């Protein structure tokens, strides 16, 4: 059996290829329209730093290297605490158990902002107002947890959460791109299979 010439087969079956891609793009567009819109809310907290001052050439107070590393590690610890089962369970109670800790874990992202002593809480939800409420509630819970568990008072909310009605998802461009690529792949597979079947019959 001879090998098939895929480029030639694609030219011969160009209508099938284009039709498959168009169907895939249409399906991708419909899926994007059916999926609920996603909104994002965020709040930023600052991890207070003790000023271990020592006089430099300018006379300004600076944090020594060890303290800086300690606070950066502490920031990572707060990120882990925010996504812990204990905190998410309390957060679930604040939203009247309409969302389980597992649901909240999928909605919430807590990250350290680059090399700064800042924590950012991001919440994605289908309701922009609930997203803001969850972000603000989690920030407050973190402050309470550090006071109760560690007897510390380092976290300060510097940018409170507020509802943002601009959609952040689903990403229509990415949906259409993925659908188009999938349609192209399927069409090539169909053309190749049809080519092999024709050779087999011959």
pLDDT of residue 170: 81
pLDDT of residue 116: 66
pLDDT of residue 149: 78
Contact 91, 138 (CB under 8 A): yes
The CATH fold assigned to 38-169 is Bacterial polysaccharide co-polymerase-like (3.30.1890)
Sign (positive or negative) of CA dihedral 186, 189, 190, 191: positive
* Residue that has been written with the tokens 């092999």 in this structure: 196
- List the pLDDT tens digit at each of the 202 positions of the chain: 456 677 888 888 888 889 999 999 988 888 888 888 899 999 999 887 544 443 344 434 445 666 667 777 777 888 888 889 999 999 999 887 789 999 999 999 998 887 667 899 999 999 999 999 999 999 999 999 888 877 878 889 999 999 998 988 888 888 889 999 999 999 989 888 888 887 777 6
pLDDT of residue 197: 81
Domain layout of the chain by residue ranges = 6-34+171-201, 38-169
Q: Which pTM value belongs to this model?
A: 0.69
pLDDT of residue 2: 56
Contacts of 133 (CB under 8 A, 6+ apart): 95, 161
């Amino acid at each position: 059996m001879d090998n098939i010439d895929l480029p030639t087969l694609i030219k011969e079956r160009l209508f099938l290829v284009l039709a498959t891609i168009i169907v895939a793009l249409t399906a991708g567009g419909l899926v994007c329209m059916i999926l609920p819109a996603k909104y994002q809310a965020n709040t930023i907290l600052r991890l207070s730093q003790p000023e271990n001052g020592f006089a430099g050439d300018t006379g300004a107070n600076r944090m020594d290297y060890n303290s800086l590393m300690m606070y950066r590690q502490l920031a990572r610890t707060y990120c882990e605490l925010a996504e812990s089962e204990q905190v998410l369970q309390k957060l679930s109670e604040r939203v009247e158990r309409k969302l389980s800790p597992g649901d909240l874990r999928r909605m919430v992202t807590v990250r350290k902002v680059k090399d700064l002593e800042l924590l950012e809480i991001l919440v994605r939800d289908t309701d922009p107002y609930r997203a803001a409420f969850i972000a603000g509630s989690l920030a407050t819970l973190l402050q309470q947890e550090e006071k109760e568990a560690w007897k510390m008072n380092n976290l300060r909310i510097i940018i409170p959460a507020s509802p943002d009605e601009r959609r952040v998802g689903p990403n229509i461009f990415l949906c259409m791109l993925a659908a188009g690529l999938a349609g192209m792949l399927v069409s090539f597979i169909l053309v190749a299979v049809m080519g092999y079947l024709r050779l087999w019959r011959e």
